[in-house]
Amino acid sequence: MSDLKRELGRKMFHMLSLAYLAAFHLIGYPRVLLPLAVWLAVVTAVEAGRFLSPDLNRILTGFFRGMIRETEHRAFSGIFHTTAGCLAVILLARGEARIVTAAVLCLALGDAAAALVGKAWGRHRLPGSAKTVEGSAACLLVCLACGLAAGLGPMPAAAAAVAATAVELLPTTSVFNDNLWMPVAAALAARLAGAA
């Protein structure tokens, strides 16, 4: 499987964050917190089962082959981090729809733009990184557009975009996953820049 196809599969899987955003808008705050917390508990239980059972780990990593990174075979996977990140954003934003929407869209669309543009057209590597200037620029622009489309003012939208892009630049490891920290950074930056 080519790198671009594998990344496309991963990003389609990460569009699950849009389901969390839809649930937030349909169910409303604070009622959405309970189903998301229950879902996070289910995901955590499956992940714990994966760690305790090599057979279950092999089955799940095989089933989601191409979507689970090598660093996630023995660590929490992207679905855990995505779910935790979206739940954290809703809590941090205290249900403020513009901040939640912007932050989750930064994760869903900004992260995808960075990866897909970087893989397809990235030619200029950032020093000491596998990331590219083209991918990071795509992330920044898409995140800015997401913030503005969500109704944030120019300063909060720009702050969210810069914060999300900065987090996306960091390498994913067994202890750091941008699916958790990208939306959290975007939400915090938007709030600090004056979004209410």
Look at residues 98, 94, 71, 104 and name the one whose alpha carbon lies nearest to residue 180.
Answer: 104
How far is it, in rounded angstroms, from Cα 42 to Cα 34?
Answer: 12
**pLDDT tens per residue across span 105-130:** 999 999 999 999 999 999 999 998 88
Query: What does pTM read for this prediction?
Result: 0.91
**pLDDT tens per residue across span 139-151:** 999 999 999 999 9
